[in-house]
Structures are given as C-alpha cells and as structure tokens.
C-alpha cells in the first residue's frame, strides 16, 4: 500500500516548483498543480491575493479544503472567509506572516499553536510568495497541515490524583491499571473518572482525554489566543 504523502514531502515539491518558476509568474496553479492529488484530508491549500494596498483586504481562495470529519463547524466557517478582515484572528495572526513573506520574497515554514473560534489547533504551514524581484508579490500560496484539532475546555485546577488519572488514561491505561498504579480501589478510580467527565463536560473517556490534552495546549504560554 502506498504511503500517504507527508507535509515535508509536499512542501519540498512545492518549494522546488517555486524555485524553478519564472519571475513574475502570474498563475499560482503552476506551483501546486503537481501536488493536488497528493494532498491529504487534513490539509488546506489556499491562494492569498495580496495586491490590495491594505493587508486587511487580502483575499483568500481555498483550493483544497479540510475534509477530516469533525463536529466543529468553525473549521468550515474559517474556510469560507473571503478576506483577512473577515475575522479578527486572521487579521492579527496571519496578516503579519503574509506581509513578512511578501517583503522578504522568501518562503517560510512554521508550526502554529493557537485557539480560534472555539477550537484548539496545531498546524504546520508553508507560505510561498510570487517571485517578483521588480516589485511586490501579487499572491502567496499557503499550505496548512492540521496536526491537532480539539474542542476547547475551561481552564480548571486539578488535584494531583486526578492529574495522574488523566495522564494514565492518555497513555491508554485501564481503570484497573490506574487503580494499581495509584494504590486505590477500582471503585474509587471509577468514581473520580466520572467526576472528571462531569467537570470537563466529556461524553466518554476518549472525549475526556481529548479535552485534557486541549486544556494543556490552551495553557501553553506559546499558544495564541
């Protein structure tokens, strides 16, 4: 079975196509045409029209949408945005990245950890500007590889025993194994897990673990709100 293409491979192919593209080439499709069929469901490909003098008016054209099944409608909403001014996060967090790439006229790859529209999200991003040595780039090509997409959870202080339970659940431990590791009865651990589910608003154990991880990411000082 053929291995799915990685963000690293697709980024390299796009960057190679960008390197060998003609200066001032007007059509971004020449750079992404080769990799379109390689894009995975968790990837987003978009062209950003940067001709407007005001970056708030930069326009978005999503070529490949995020297709992983999710109940978070915010992901669909984000891909329906037409200009960066349509959403505060796009204005404050994405505009500086596009302006930087346009001014430097060089590709940029980074990893983003952020909270947006009720989602906690981690993604890798590649930005390729139009090669135009004689002037401003008319467009940027953006590839996003969503690594983590989680619902938010309210910040909550955890007792040491509950922190241990959640950590072991995240490692795949059973209630019995958690009880043995914490020197408590199965019944005690079961009750604490049920209280944690109620506290986090989790529907099941998988949801509880996801919310626990989401809370840890949201608490990271390097993440953007």
Question: pLDDT tens across 63-115, in order?
Answer: 999 999 988 887 877 777 778 777 676 677 788 888 899 888 899 999 998 88
User: What is the pLDDT confidence band of residue 48, given thresholds at 50, 70 and 90?
Assistant: very high
Residue 221 has what pLDDT?
A: 45
pLDDT > 90 in the chain, percent? 52
CATH classification at residue 183: 1.10.10.10
Report the predicted TM-score, pTM, of the whole model to 2 decimal places.
0.86
Out of 150, 183, 208, a domain closes at: 150
Overall number of domains in the chain = 2
Please give the structure tokens belonging to residue 196.
């944690």
Q: Are residues 99 and 200 in the same domain?
A: no
Q: pLDDT tier at 219 (50, 70, 90 boundaries)?
A: low
> Is 1 part of any domain?
no
Pick the last residue of a domain from 126, 150, 174: 150
> pLDDT tens digits for 116-128?
777 889 999 999 9
Considering the domain architecture, whether residues 95 and 164 belong to the same structural domain is answered as no
- The answer on 129 and 56 residing in a single domain is yes
Q: Are residues 86 and 127 in the same domain?
A: yes
Residue 42 domain boundaries? 7-150
User: Is 83 in the same domain as 178?
Assistant: no
Let me know if residue 22 belongs to a domain. yes
Q: Nearest Cα to 162, choosing from 187, 209, 196?
A: 196
pLDDT at residue 129 above 80? Answer: yes
Average pLDDT on 34-47 reads 95
Please report whether residue 225 resides in a domain: no
User: What would the mean pLDDT of 161-188 be, rounded to a whole number?
Assistant: 93
């Amino acid at each position: 079975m053929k291995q799915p293409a990685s963000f690293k491979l697709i980024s390299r192919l796009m960057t190679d196509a960008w390197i060998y593209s003609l200066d001032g080439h007007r059509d971004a499709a020449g750079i992404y045409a080769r990799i379109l069929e390689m894009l995975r469901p968790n990837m987003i490909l978009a062209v950003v029209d940067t001709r407007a003098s005001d970056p708030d008016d930069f326009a978005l054209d999503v070529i490949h949408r995020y297709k992983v099944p999710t109940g978070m409608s915010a992901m669909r909403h984000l891909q329906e945005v037409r200009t960066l001014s349509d959403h505060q996060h796009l204005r404050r967090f994405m505009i500086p990245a596009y302006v930087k790439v346009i001014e430097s006229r060089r590709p940029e790859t980074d990893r983003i950890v952020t909270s947006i529209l009720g989602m906690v999200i981690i993604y890798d991003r590649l930005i390729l500007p139009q090669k135009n040595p004689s002037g401003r780039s008319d467009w940027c090509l953006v590839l996003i590889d969503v690594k983590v997409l989680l619902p938010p959870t309210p910040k909550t202080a955890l007792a040491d025993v509950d922190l241990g339970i959640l950590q072991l659940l995240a490692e795949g431990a059973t209630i019995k194994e958690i009880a043995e590791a914490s020197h408590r009865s199965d019944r005690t651990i079961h009750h604490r897990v049920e209280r944690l589910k109620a506290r986090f608003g989790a529907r099941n154990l998988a949801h509880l673990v996801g919310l626990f991880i989401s809370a840890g990411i949201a608490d990271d000082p390097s993440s953007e709100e």
